[in-house]
Amino acid sequence: MNCFVCFLTPLPKIDIFDLFSYIEETMILPLYSNIIKHLPKRDLDKVGQENLINEISKCSINEMEIIYALILSYCTAENIPVLFYPFGSIKKSDGIEFNLANLPVKLQNILNKFVCKIRWTSEKN
């Protein structure tokens, strides 16, 4: 299966524009700006996609919330109009399900770079 779920803590009832304002005021955009430096321009191969989905499934709730914020930051940076469920994602009872095939190549690479970095950091400690 080519999907992953971002398990999220319940969000307070807020307007989407307030959410984007919140993201812009936090450290997410600097994180996003740092991650997009030196990204590969090629698609993740099948093994890379499977590894990404596997690694995301191991993420903590906090890490998954950052992944979701990175997705929203990507939308903001690329001027993509978005609701709470971008790229054909589906709300589930425990989070939001994304199909990796629906994500742009650049966003797949952003998520892969973030997940690889947190795995490398956790293995090093």
* Domain residue spans of the chain: 15-37+51-124
Q: What are residue 85's phi and psi, to 5 degrees?
A: -120, 80
pTM of the model: 0.78
The enclosing H or E element of 3 equals: strand 3-7
pLDDT over 60 (residue 17): no
- For residue 39, give the amino acid letter: L
Pairwise CA distance, residues 110 & 104, whole Å: 10
Residue-wise pLDDT for 37-69, tens only, equals 888 888 899 999 999 999 999 988 888 888 988
Pairwise CA distance, residues 51 & 66, whole Å: 18
Residue-wise pLDDT for 96-125, tens only, equals 889 999 999 999 999 999 998 887 766 665
Pairwise CA distance, residues 1 & 11, whole Å: 27
Q: Per DSSP, what are the bridge partners of residue 46?
A: none
